[in-house]
Amino acid sequence: MVTRLLNISFVLLILIFISCEDRLFLEREPELALANGVYEFEPGGYQFDHVILENDNFLYSAFPCNEDNTITFFNIDISGTYQMSLIFENDTIFSRSVYLNEIHNDLIEITVLDVSQGDSFIISPLNERPSVMDGGFGTMGFYDWQDGGEPTLLNYLKDEGIADLKYILQTHDDADHYGGLNDVVNDGTITCDDYFTNNSTDLPAVNDTLFFSDDVFGIMLHYGDLPTDILDSVETEENNRSITMKLVYKDLEMLFTSDIEVETEEYLLQQSYFQSFQNYDILKVPHHGSSSSSSEDFLEYVRPKLSVISVGEGNPWDHPTDEVLGRLKANSGSILRTDINGSIRILTDGRSIQTISGQK
């Protein structure tokens, strides 16, 4: 009898211990731990899409781009207290204050340059010269929503000490994409190996590769005329002739779409470039968030973890439209906009993504 009671007591103690362990596990708070010069995120049992760190000056976001959901913050500009929030399906599921020390790491960087209404991107691999894709209006602009005629791209390159580019890519023949590139070329102090447009005969063919470095490359998905069975007219409008490219680095995949509209989106879907179970990490939202792009079908297949919109405050077309923002919120984990967040820096080691931006 005594032995039986002891056995029962032992079983009860085991059950209580397991119950306490489960409760302790569930009550663990998410943490950021400094290891090997970066802050690694421990979710503490929470399910999440991405993590945000925020104070009055900086907005940092981090996303996984591999199957083990690695989240890492590579750069913290200033030591101090930040509000850490876990986001799941656009809802904040956990939030608390954390103190972080300043850290900096050299990584692959993609800059979404705030050129107001227009596009401009700087792709900076490690151990290779940067490349530029589009340049905003530059000095061809006039109004504030056109960046007030400032040579923003040229000034940025000079401020960063960049005097030699590998490539310049002009996605199509619209002034809010090539104006700032003209500034760079006409200045005469910045060189590049190749200047490609969507009409260049030496641009890699569709499905071929453009190497920005040995391990950072772009796969051409589309440029030039569309097949006539896609169009309502016999001629492809310039927006739909834009260079569309998938940038790849290890597990990272970013989709550059320039100003493509729904006809090119439909064409891309027909080419089986997208699979419903395989999300893109980052989408450059087509045509500044115009209602003529970012169709429901397209976004349902791309399903980006992060969408970035390059757009000018006060533009006369009301880009991005409420219609597009609604579709993005339903199909994208997070949205950053240059009219709200300014220039956006994207850092990655190919396993995790960190963005650095601000609040205008």
CATH at residue 118: 3.60.15.10
Residue that is last in its domain, among 100, 127, 153: 100
DSSP code of residue 174: -
Q: What domain range includes position 44?
A: 31-100
Distance CA 123, CA 218 (A): 11
Are 219 and 72 in a shared domain? no
Q: Does any domain span residue 171?
A: yes
Locus of tokens 């509000």: 83
Q: Is residue 92 part of a domain?
A: yes
Q: Is residue 267 part of a domain?
A: yes
Please tell me whether residues 155 and 217 are part of one structural domain.
yes
pLDDT single digits (tens) 204-236: 999 999 999 999 999 999 999 998 877 776 689
Residue 28 confidence (pLDDT) above 80: no
Together in a domain, 244 and 277: yes
pTM above 0.85, yes or no: yes
The C-alpha atoms of residue 351 and residue 249 are separated, in whole angstroms, by: 9
| Of 58, 77, 100, the domain-final residue | 100
Token code pair at residue 313: 């405050």
- Total domains in the chain come to 2
Largest CA distance in the chain: 97
| Separation between Cα atoms, residue 253 and residue 270, nearest integer Å | 20
At 288-342, the pLDDT tens digits run 999 999 999 999 999 999 999 999 999 999 999 999 999 999 998 899 999 999 9
77 and 222 share one domain: no
Buried b (16+ CB within 10 A) or exposed e, 241-261: bbbbbbbbbebbbbbbbbbbb
Is residue 155 domain-shared with residue 240, that is, in the same domain?
Answer: yes
pLDDT at 329: 93
Of 100, 134, 152, which residue constitutes the final position of a domain?
Answer: 100
Is residue 315 a part of any domain in this protein?
Answer: yes
Tell which residue, 121, 87, 142, 70, has the closest CA to residue 354.
Answer: 70
Compute φ and ψ for 98, nearest 5 degrees. -135, 150
Span 108-121, mean pLDDT? 98
Give yes or no: residues 112 and 73 share one domain.
no
